[in-house]
Amino acid sequence: MSLAAQAEAFLEMLAAERGAAANTLRAYGRDLRDLESFADHAGTGAARADSGLLRDYMAGLARAGLSPRTQARRLSCLKQFYLFLTREGMRADNPAALLDAPRLPATLPRFLTEAEVDRLLGACDPPPDDGRRWLVARAALEILYASGLRISELLGLPRRALAGDSRMLLVRGKGGRERLVPLSVQARAAAEALAACDKPLRSPCLFPGRGGQRPLTRQGFDRILHDVALRAGLDPARLSPHVLRHSFATHMLARGADLRALQMLLGHADIATTQIYTHVLAERLRAVVETHHPLAGGRARAAAAAGEPGGEAGGGTWQDS
């Protein structure tokens, strides 16, 4: 069987059994075609590739300057593809099984402060002209921050999501997995105001795009978000739908939310993904200690030497051991 036929079967499996998104399917299709081109130049086909050829292919990606995250996605595609071939009996071995993943840089999620979120929401008050644009902004930001949705989940919400008096949203996330997320009173009111404005469109979408029959595009929402950031006095480069999702998670943990509950709200399949936010909090706690601890920076010792209150000579409770 040719690689094209094998790739088609693989992508059909991802769509049918795992509910893979269209963007994922397109990306994996491109990845497999790129591998096939590399294998053809090496004098073999990707369907017959061995581990040596795959290592050469991955090394070539690094030499070409592809980012570690792009390399990691390509490797994920290869591992899933060749595992599929072995399970379906199209290959006797899996040449990708022992390939090493590129080391990804340790980065912490970017998030806004609670005050900055308040400024964003306050910037959504609609002016007399083009009021609908700001109704979209208000409803989207309220839902994103109240529920931690991904942008694809938000823009994919149907209008019927507001049916009844429920304060919960049924969301279809990655892999077709469904979950319930809360809808705050403010978020529901903002969404209902937008729905009332859009009633003449008779759209099935809660966030309709042009024409009303299809959802607002990610690019269209990005332009709205850019304008809201400017109105709020924030750098638009700091703001994205995922930054709001990170802000939701970080603020929830800071106020005592349980990590397992947060995993369910965010729709993470693995709690290890959710644990990144504990590192964010650890950084914040470190900064708090460095700023406010009585021994930080030698301030307490200096106070003690001067006989000031709060130093060791002034009756402070912290002492060296």
pTM of the model: 0.64
Among residues 174, 179, 226, 301, the one annotated as catalytic is 174
Identical fold, 3-87 and 120-236: no
- Written out in words, the top-level CATH class of the domain with range 120-236 is mainly alpha
In the chain, where the domains are located? 3-87, 120-236
Residue 130 confidence class, pLDDT cut points 50, 70, 90? low
pLDDT at 44 over 60: yes
Active site residue 242: yes
> What single-letter amino acid sits at 87?
R
**Residue 212: what pLDDT?**
85
Q: What are 183-207's pLDDT values in tens digits?
A: 899 999 999 999 999 999 899 999 9
Residue 106 confidence class, pLDDT cut points 50, 70, 90? low
pLDDT at 17 over 70: yes
Active site residue 174: yes
Among residues 28, 82, 145, 277, the one annotated as catalytic is 277
More confident residue, 173 or 227: 227
Helical ranges in the chain per DSSP H: 3-18, 22-41, 51-63, 68-87, 114-122, 131-147, 151-155, 185-197, 218-232, 241-254, 259-266, 271-274, 276-292, 299-306
Active site residue 301: no
Active site residue 28: no
Active site residue 150: yes
The superfamily in CATH containing domain 3-87 is Tyrosine recombinase, N-terminal domain (1.10.150.130)
**Residue 18: what pLDDT?**
82
Which residue is listed with tokens 């930080």? 296
pLDDT at 312 over 90: no
C-alpha 122: how far from chain center = 24
Q: How far apart are CA 6 and CA 84, in angstroms?
A: 9
**Residue 303: what pLDDT?**
46
Residue 98 confidence class, pLDDT cut points 50, 70, 90? confident
Among residues 79, 268, 299, 301, the one annotated as catalytic is 268
**Residue 177: what pLDDT?**
84
Among residues 231, 242, 299, 301, the one annotated as catalytic is 242
Q: What are 47-94's pLDDT values in tens digits?
A: 788 999 999 999 999 899 888 888 988 999 999 999 999 999 999 999
Active site residue 226: no
**Residue 209: what pLDDT?**
92
